[in-house]
Structure 1
Amino acid sequence: MTLQDLDLDVYLTPEDLAAGLRTDARTGLSASPKWLPPKYFYDARGSELFEEITRLPEYYPTRAERSILAERAPAIARITGAKTLIELGSGSSEKTRLLLDALREHGTLGSFTPLDVSESALRHALDDLHRDYPDLHLHGIVADFVNHLEVLPETGTRLVAFLGGTIGNFTPAERAPFLSALRDRLAPGEFLLLGADLVKSPAVLIPAYADAAGVTAEFNRNVLRVLNRELGATFDPSRFAHVALWDEANEWIEMRLRSAVPQTVRLEALDLDITFGRGEELRTEVSAKFRRDGLTAELAAAGFAVRDWWTDREDRFALTLAAAV
């Protein structure tokens, strides 16, 4: 198998991504307060920065989730008996290899379908996976998991993995229809494995999003560089400070960029000028944190029954195994 002949379906083209960016930038930057979706952090540089973040001492979620998977993957394989593993927002699928190994050892796994918005990243990941799992059928899908759930394969008993706490980037109003749409794509008895960060002290949460080395600050400001490159914008990232706040009422972290000076930014591709007052903030991410009862209720409302709930040893992060009912 080569990069050229992978089993890969493309439902999201670079032109689609560019159109989405133009729409989101015009809508979000014209709003009050201003906002941008977090998915635009992740160009090549942003992905490198995020990988660096996952290795920082303050950033616990990746290590915590991996520790749960390392301990519980055999049980997940035994309970689900999955023949097809699907991963939403797969990236490199590095942690997912723990599930692949456990399902293969259990003797049920026949295929793996990673879904991601980046065709180049997905091709690279599939090539690496084929080298290490040469007998496993690999079927990559280039798509947006919010808008393209209908393209998920329907072969074999399925386990859908949605890891990394990405569910926290949805507001409650966004989570409900997403989870319901995902349930509608599954048959009764098929499974969702959901990674979710848990509510905890702001003394732990805030440093995870505002590390001492400033890597998260550079990651946050990277969205401005994306707009500069893709939309001919004139953002000066040095004029924006990184802010991470704990919203106790909503139980989520907000990442923002705060304008250090009054300024006007031109977005040439949109023929749009955006003004910022001194201290005005642009919200770039919401990262909701969860409690067991609340997440169980949200899953039940969408048509899932929680089968198991596992946390790391410090109760910082949870993996929820839920069955479609």
Structure 2
Amino acid sequence: MTLTRIDIDLPEHQLRETLVADAARGLLAAAKTCPPKYFYDQRGSELFEQICGLPEYYPTRIERRILTRWADEIVAAVPAFTSLVELGSGSSSKTPLLLDALYRQTPAVSYVPVDVSLHALVGAVGALRDAYRTLPIHGVVRDFEDPLHGLPDLGHRVVALLGGTIGNLDPRTRAGFLADVAAGLSTGEGLLLGVDLVKEPRRLVRAYDDAAGTTRLFNQNMLNVLNRLLDADFEPDRFDHVAVWNEEQSWIEMRLRAREAMKIRLGSLDALVGFEEGEEIRTEISTKFRRESLERELEAAGFGTRGWWVASEDEGCAGSAGDYAVVLGVRS
């Protein structure tokens, strides 16, 4: 078996074609939007790694705390678990916590990282190869929302989507994603989610609008990606970063707000997009969950909840309260 391999299921030309379609739907709409997957070029990936270390951005710290404390329990909750498939793997910085726990259970371990950023995937695979000399790693450049069909099947799988990424999907898209994952898994295989929980809104907003301005740069960098892939002429500094709490939907919205009226050329669409002063592009939603509603969503997709591990910024706890949770569903 080849120990290290990276397949590119999402080449640059296909990413551009997808973006053109997304832009036609989102940037030309009355209420402008653009999907958060377009944050992650090389610069965007680097900025997101910086965000994960910010004092205001608690999800990464708490998720790492949960995995450090309960990785063995999580792994043991899926009998015969040997293959970790990580969607939106990024730098794979928390992955060793699960891999080490897997190795304590079985020597037959494999890892399949899936990410839209080739740069992030190459860096992550290189770092893991240095640490795990005999671990089969089969990386795939791909949109994590795509169905599991066609991904490497190297054993009895748990599919992990960590970092609160599931919250970037609106309810309808999330239901479709969970159903697709369930359809791609066999009975007894698992889905491991990292989910941020509903809490005091000011704290949520601070996590997406930090004092150092790193999240602002991350948000504005999407416009550089649009310029490259859409042959556009956005000037990022002409847009302000905005983060707001949507109480009705239980999610944070990140937006880019035009500082003045302007027209933007989208060469790939042969179109001009007009912005009024104060008009916004919604670039991300980040849903915050409650246990009961998330378990209903998992059940509707075909997953039984096998475990719910929760911690707070101050201390870990095994109860239902807390700031952040790691949730395990098993395909029924």
- Asked whether the 8 Å contact 2:85–2:114 carries over to 1, the reply is yes
- Asked whether the 8 Å contact 1:6–1:123 carries over to 2, the reply is no
Output the CA distance in 1 between the equivalents of 2:7 and 2:256: 36
Output the CA distance in 2 between the equivalents of 1:89 and 1:109: 23
| Alignment-derived partner of residue 178 in structure 1 | 177
Output the CA distance in 1 between the equivalents of 2:129 and 2:45: 22
| Alignment-derived partner of residue 142 in structure 1 | 141
Q: Say if 2:36 is the partner of 1:38.
A: yes
Cα shift at 1:109: 3.9
Which letter does structure 2 place at the counterpart of 1:282? I
| Alignment-derived partner of residue 67 in structure 1 | 65
- Which deviates more from structure 2 when the two are superposed, residues 117-126 or residues 156-165? 117-126
- Asked whether the 8 Å contact 1:85–1:109 carries over to 2, the reply is no
Could you tell me which runs of 5 or more consecutive residues in structure 2 were left unpaired when the two chains were aligned: 314-321
- Asked whether the 8 Å contact 2:102–2:109 carries over to 1, the reply is no
| Alignment-derived partner of residue 129 in structure 1 | 128
Task: Deviation per CA, 1:195-218: give whole Å up to 9, x if none.
Answer: 111111111100001111111111
Cα shift at 1:111: 1.0
Could you tell me which runs of 5 or more consecutive residues in structure 1 were left unpaired when the two chains were aligned: none
Q: Give the RMSD, CA atoms, in angstroms.
A: 1.6
Structure 1 residues 200-219: aligned runs within 5 Å: 200-219=199-218
Which letter does structure 2 place at the counterpart of 1:260? R
Cα shift at 1:154: 3.2
2:51 to 50, 53, 57: 53
- Asked whether the 8 Å contact 1:112–1:137 carries over to 2, the reply is yes
Task: Deviation per CA, 1:173-224: give whole Å up to 9, x if none.
Answer: 0011110110111111111111111111111100001111111111111111
Task: Deviation per CA, 1:198-253: give whole Å up to 9, x if none.
Answer: 11111110000111111111111111111223322121222211111100000000
Cα shift at 1:108: 4.9
Cα shift at 1:104: 0.5
Output the CA distance in 2 between the equivalents of 1:269 and 1:184: 35
Cα shift at 1:148: 4.0
Which letter does structure 2 place at the counterpart of 1:318? A
Output the CA distance in 1 between the equivalents of 2:246 and 2:121: 34
Structure 1 residues 1-325: aligned runs within 5 Å: 6-80=4-78, 81-314=80-313, 315-325=322-332
Output the CA distance in 1 between the equivalents of 2:276 and 2:198: 33
Which letter does structure 2 place at the counterpart of 1:27? R
SS at match of 2:77: helix
SS at match of 1:62: helix
- Asked whether the 8 Å contact 1:100–1:109 carries over to 2, the reply is no
SS at match of 1:258: strand
Output the CA distance in 1 between the equivalents of 2:235 and 2:141: 32
- When normalised by structure 2's length, the TM-score is 0.93
Which letter does structure 2 place at the counterpart of 1:249? E
Cα shift at 1:25: 1.6
Cα shift at 1:322: 1.1
- When normalised by structure 1's length, the TM-score is 0.95
Output the CA distance in 2 between the equivalents of 1:50 and 1:312: 22
SS at match of 1:151: coil
Output the CA distance in 1 between the equivalents of 2:241 and 2:55: 19
SS at match of 2:326: strand
SS at match of 1:200: coil
Output the CA distance in 1 between the equivalents of 2:178 and 2:147: 13
Which letter does structure 2 place at the counterpart of 1:212? A
Output the CA distance in 2 between the equivalents of 1:32 and 1:94: 39
- Which deviates more from structure 2 when the two are superposed, residues 307-316 or residues 50-59? 307-316
- Asked whether the 8 Å contact 2:260–2:277 carries over to 1, the reply is yes
- Which deviates more from structure 2 when the two are superposed, residues 56-65 or residues 140-149? 140-149
